[in-house]
Amino acid sequence: MDLKQFIRDIPDFPQKGIIFRDITPLLKDSRAFREAIDRMCELVSDREFDLVVAPEARGFILGSAMAYKLGKGFVPVRKPGKLPYRTVYEEYQLEYGTEQLHIHEDAIERDQKVLIVDDVLATGGTAEALIRLVKKLGGEISALAFLVELSYLSPRKRLEGYDIKTLIVY
């Protein structure tokens, strides 16, 4: 199945000059969604990890489905003010602004192995912030898995030294 056909391009969103890769058509199609989750799980089948860590909102969808299928725990990473317990956070640059990511301070135990999952790897800023959060709590990065990679933004340079798995590359 060609999963790329289920990714819709939205020009000038969220601001002029950005092409947003919309995965909602893929999520809506039960066969494509199942295929994407199955294939993302296959991408990381050679990696050992205890937890899946994923940011809101689309990362939650993919990460929690993968955690369920692989029998792993799931840790949500959220924007400020969304988690009910004490958090630690990292600030990072998006291609169109600045943001913060928060994680519960007890979400990861020291030396736990973590798989980071998100929908799109663009500039690598979000992934880099997720890595810093995991390390801040004493976790170890096993790999990073993404549905889509925007290779023309060269995100792998920013994440050099990490095992990066992607399903669809632009």
Catalytic residue among 35, 39, 56, 95: 95
**Taking each helix axis from N to C terminus, what angle separates 58-70 and 30-43, rounded to the nearest 10 degrees?**
70
Q: Give the pTM.
A: 0.95
Query: Is 95 designated active site?
Result: yes
Query: 76-109, pLDDT tens digit by residue?
Result: 999 999 999 999 999 987 656 689 999 999 999 9
Over the chain (170 residues), the average pLDDT of each successive run of 10 is 97 90 98 98 98 97 98 98 97 79 98 98 94 98 98 96 98
- State residue 95's pLDDT score: 59
Tell me the fold of 47-169.
Rossmann fold (3.40.50)
Can you give the residue ranges of every domain in the chain?
Answer: 47-169
Catalytic residue among 58, 78, 90, 149: 58
Range 18-46 burial, b when 16+ CB lie within 10 A, else e: eeebbbeebbebeebbebbbeebeebbee
